[in-house]
Amino acid sequence: MTPNDLKFVTDLAAAKLSEGAAERDIALVQEQLGRYPRGMVAVGARCVCGNPLAVVTRPLLPGGIPFPTTCYLTGPEVVKAVSHVEANGEMPSYTALVEQDEDVRAAYERAHELYLGFRHALAERLGDDESHIEGISAGGMPVRVKCLHALVAQSLVMGPGVNPIGDRVLERIRGEFDPAVCRCGLRADDADDANDAEGNDRKEGED
Ligand SMILES: [Zn+2]
């Protein structure tokens, strides 16, 4: 990792942890996921209205459970929009892009390193052991595309220019979801997709 990238992830982790997780935010995320967000240490990204879109989860959950999916997508609208892209069978084309486009591949490898660097900075500040998830990021990085929810979560938490696939998916779903346009609570059937994404992420975590 370059010194600039190291500074970026270290500063980002410090900023997120200093914001922390307010009780109100934890309650909102619990409502979004339909379960208590264990290990949530900060809101990673918010809708313009303030609702959480993604959370930052600590590397070691209470009870000593290693958790690699540091950036976790929670907003029902974005979860649903990303699920639509996955259901459309777009995953192979994103994997092909990573395999065939040198620039995308390099950016995707860097996204993996930034993910690990961000988590390492969190682990150091929180005193969490990372030994069980060393080198494991999320979403299939650094060479495959397995879970778009995880990649989009990284894009939302760490900003544009970090994850090339997450950025592309956000661009693609703009008509359905945009962090700058509040569509919170417009749909009644969001909960099912949120649970679906949870399953995806959990599967990723066990990989
Ligand atoms: Zn909103």
**pLDDT digits over 117-155, tens only?**
999 999 999 999 999 999 999 999 999 999 999 999 999
**pLDDT digits over 66-109, tens only?**
999 999 999 999 999 999 999 999 999 999 999 999 999 999 99
Cα(77) to centroid(ligand 1), Å: 9
Residue 41: exposure state from Cβ atoms within 10 A (0-12, 13-18, ≥19): buried
Please report which confidence band the pLDDT of residue 26 belongs to, taking 50, 70 and 90 as the band edges: very high
According to DSSP H, which parts of the chain are helical? 3-19, 23-33, 76-87, 91-100, 102-126, 148-158, 164-172, 190-206
Total number of domains in the chain:
1
Cα(184) to centroid(ligand 1), Å: 4
Strands 65-66 and 40-46 turn out to be unpaired
Say yes or no to pLDDT of 182 above 80: yes
pTM of the model: 0.88
Cα(116) to centroid(ligand 1), Å: 29
**Considering just the CA atoms, what is the radius of gyration of the chain in Å?**
16
Q: What residues are paired with 42 via a beta bridge?
A: 56
Cα(86) to centroid(ligand 1), Å: 23
Supply the range of the domain harboring residue 13.
Answer: 3-206
Please report which confidence band the pLDDT of residue 191 belongs to, taking 50, 70 and 90 as the band edges: very low
Cα(53) to centroid(ligand 1), Å: 9
Cα(13) to centroid(ligand 1), Å: 24
pLDDT in the model for residue 186: 62
Say yes or no to pLDDT of 115 above 90: yes
Cα(15) to centroid(ligand 1), Å: 22
Cα(32) to centroid(ligand 1), Å: 12
Cα(51) to centroid(ligand 1), Å: 5
Cα(186) to centroid(ligand 1), Å: 10
Cα(175) to centroid(ligand 1), Å: 15
pLDDT above 70: percentage of residues in the chain: 89
